[in-house]
Amino acid sequence: ILNVEQSPQSLHVQEGDSTNFTCSFPSSNFYALHWYRWETAKSPEALFVMTLNGDEKKKGRISATLNTKEGYSYLYIKGSQPEDSATYLCAFDGGTSYGKLTFGQGTILTVHP
Amino acid sequence: GAGVSQTPSNKVTEKGKYVELRCDPISGHTALYWYRQSLGQGPEFLIYFQGTGAADDSGLPNDRFFAVRPEGSVSTLKIQRTERGDSAVYLCASSLGPGNTIYFGEGSWLTVV
């Protein structure tokens, strides 16, 4: 059984704060690491697909880094806004290559105005 | 449509009944996935289709669960003799194939009473 862990489980920040959370995953048989943002009553939105060790990706105020050797990825949000409030999920593709993802339990972010 | 479409969005059924959940993937996407999310957990893989065939059904919990994709587009997840433990959000996703972004639908919320 693959173990994908996210921390913290939940996070409350004030508007304008920068924040980050962690996804840890097995360091063997790595193929890809996916990040999703899931707002209530909507579909999970794909943020990043990361495949290379040391990769850093950015989308607006959100960025992510990847360390496949030690098995972790960080997601950063700069200048949080209330609309960033959502559950952030990471998902590990352990070598299948076809998208059989093992998800973490998610980090619930609440940004207070 | 522009995204992955799932119907019904909500379904309440009695224990023991039969349920069908439908997924219409993004046009042209050959890969289709079903995941299930129970309360407090991340989504769990159920089954992967490449074209019409189920390439990996290792996540189906038991033989009450079955999925088809007869023409390589729309898929139906079928649950027989539903149990209260089947209550969850059933997510469908599609992609262009290995290594590509996986796009999710909004999910079908199933409640078994």
Structure tokens at A98: 């076809």
The pLDDT of residue B1 is 52
Dihedral through CA A62, CA A68, CA A70, CA A71, nearest 10? Answer: 70
Interface membership of B34 toward A (CB under 8 Å) = no
Element (H, E) at B105: none
Contact A98 B97 (CB under 8 A): yes
Nearest to A97 among B41, B98, B106 (CB): B98
* Shortest alpha-carbon distance between residue A112 and chain B (Å): 22
Q: For residue B85, which phi and psi values (nearest 5 degrees)?
A: -70, -10
CB A111 within 8 A of CB B47: no
Nearest to A43 among B31, B98, B106 (CB): B106
Contact B102 A51 (CB under 8 A): no
A7-37 per-position pLDDT tens digit: 999 999 999 999 999 999 998 888 899 999 9
Contact A43 B4 (CB under 8 A): yes
Contact A101 B98 (CB under 8 A): no
The pLDDT of residue A99 is 79
Q: How far, in Å, CA of B109 to CA of B90, rounded?
A: 6
Residue of B85, B100, B86 lying closest to B29 (CA atoms):
B100
**Per-residue pLDDT of chain B in tens (113 residues, 90 and over written 9):** 579 999 999 999 999 999 999 999 999 999 999 999 998 889 999 999 999 999 899 999 999 999 999 998 999 999 999 999 999 999 999 999 877 889 999 999 999 99
The pLDDT of residue A97 is 66
A53-104 per-position pLDDT tens digit: 889 999 999 999 999 999 999 999 999 999 999 999 999 998 776 778 999 9
Residue of B51, B27, B23 lying closest to A43 (CA atoms):
B23
Structure tokens at B25: 């993937």
Residue of A8, A23, A11, A10 lying closest to A89 (CA atoms):
A23
Query: Which chain B residues are closer than 8 Å to A25 by Cβ?
Result: none
The pLDDT of residue A35 is 97
